[in-house]
């Protein structure tokens, strides 16, 4: 487990200090689309320059290194408890060495634990896999964009959102309209639809792990994802909320079966600095 621990520390370093190539490319393409000399273009150029500087100097892209969220695919027989303890230890080391900003605050005492570990912190999800390899995906999710996420219960009359996929779309565009520039656009948007409130929230966030170019396996959802990107970009919120053509880089939708009475839609928002990475063990 010692080597695995060090592997997770390195995963933290990579995810905190470099942007996935698909996200960086998408920001560069966005900069070319914006009007020359506009606030939108200059904001995107600063973001791209910041990504380069962070990578070259091995410093975190954003001072908010967020809540670490782990998704593990674990071969049968490997102890989940031991993996959890290894992640906690790696988190303490990474906080000091990368460094990460200590973000875990005790709700009762208001004390910051100082090492990014605490009750339910970091967030870790386990899933068993029939494959023989352990896959560890990590996302560092900043607080600003986490705060602008929303959960909806269809129908929503004031949004003219019925209990169907068109209604889902209304919720997504509404969430971005309400977020404005507070969560650092251009955003990546994860959407989860289903029967249970807790389940859709997790499903929505999981969608943020998909590569931006990843096409939804369900054709109907793939089409809606594309339509929603254009609709969001028509809002004109723009990079940093300063106006412009690029408010979202991608929308990714995941669906579960729903209960006849329940139609929950969760919208999880990620900032332009969508930081994710994978360790295969």
Query: Nearer Cβ to other proteins, position 72 or 184?
Result: 184
Q: How far is the CB of 151 from other proteins (least distance, A)?
A: 19
Q: How far is the CB of 10 from other proteins (least distance, A)?
A: 18
Report residue 280 as tokens: 């295969």
Q: How far is the CB of 1 from other proteins (least distance, A)?
A: 28
Sequence-distant (6+) residues with CB within 8 A of 94 are 8, 9, 12, 13, 16, 100, 116
Q: How far is the CB of 132 from other proteins (least distance, A)?
A: 38
Q: How far is the CB of 212 from other proteins (least distance, A)?
A: 17
Distance (Å, whole) CA 280 – CA 69 = 16
- Start-to-end Cα distance in the chain: 11
Query: Nearer Cβ to other proteins, position 161 or 203?
Result: 161
Question: What are the residue ranges of helices labelled H in the chain?
Answer: 2-17, 21-33, 39-57, 80-97, 143-147, 165-179, 197-207, 219-234
Query: Nearer Cβ to other proteins, position 4 or 237?
Result: 237
Q: What are phi and psi of 70, to 5 degrees?
A: -105, 135
Q: How far is the CB of 272 from other proteins (least distance, A)?
A: 6
Query: Nearer Cβ to other proteins, position 189 or 273?
Result: 273
Query: Nearer Cβ to other proteins, position 133 or 147?
Result: 147
Q: Which residues bind other proteins (CB under 8 A)?
A: 37, 39, 42-43, 46-47, 49-50, 53-54, 57, 59-65, 99-103, 110-112, 114, 142-144, 147, 158-161, 170, 173-174, 177, 180-184, 231, 234-238, 240-243, 271-273
Cβ(182)–Cβ(276) below 8 Å? no
Query: Nearer Cβ to other proteins, position 66 or 74?
Result: 66
Which value, to the nearest 10 degrees, does the dihedral of the CA atoms of residues 263, 215, 208, 192 take? 0
Please compute, for residue 217, the number of CA atoms within 13 A of its CA located in the half-sphere on the CB side. 4
Query: Nearer Cβ to other proteins, position 41 or 89?
Result: 41
Other CB atoms within a 10 A radius of the CB of residue 30 amount to: 25
Distance (Å, whole) CA 138 – CA 117 = 15
Q: How far is the CB of 131 from other proteins (least distance, A)?
A: 35
Other CB atoms within a 10 A radius of the CB of residue 14 amount to: 18
């Amino acid at each position: 487990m010692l080597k695995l621990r060090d592997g997770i520390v390195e995963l933290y370093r990579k995810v905190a200090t470099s942007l996935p190539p698909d996200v960086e490319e998408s920001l560069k393409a966005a900069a070319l689309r914006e009007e020359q000399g506009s606030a939108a273009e200059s904001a995107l150029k600063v973001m791209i320059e910041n990504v380069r500087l962070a990578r070259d100097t091995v410093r975190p892209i954003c001072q908010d290194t967020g809540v670490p969220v782990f998704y593990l695919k674990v071969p049968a027989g490997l102890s989940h408890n031991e993996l959890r303890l290894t992640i906690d230890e790696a988190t303490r080391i990474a906080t000091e060495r990368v460094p990460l900003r200590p973000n875990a605050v005790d709700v009762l005492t208001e004390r910051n634990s100082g090492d990014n570990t605490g009750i339910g912190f970091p967030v870790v999800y386990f899933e068993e896999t029939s494959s023989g390899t352990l896959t560890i995906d990590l996302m560092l999710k900043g607080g600003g964009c986490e705060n602008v996420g929303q959960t909806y219960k269809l129908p929503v009359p004031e949004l003219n959102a019925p209990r169907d996929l068109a209604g889902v779309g209304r919720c997504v565009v509404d969430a971005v309209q309400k977020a404005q520039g507070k969560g650092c656009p251009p955003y990546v948007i994860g959407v989860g639809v289903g029967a249970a409130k807790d389940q859709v929230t997790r499903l929505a966030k999981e969608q943020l792990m998909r590569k931006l170019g990843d096409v939804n396996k369900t054709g109907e959802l793939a089409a809606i994802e594309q339509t929603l990107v254009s609709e969001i970009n028509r809002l004109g919120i723009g990079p940093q909320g300063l106006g412009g053509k690029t408010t979202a880089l991608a929308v990714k939708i995941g669906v579960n079966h729903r209960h006849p009475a329940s139609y929950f839609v969760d919208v999880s928002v990620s900032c332009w600095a969508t930081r994710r990475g994978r360790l295969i063990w």
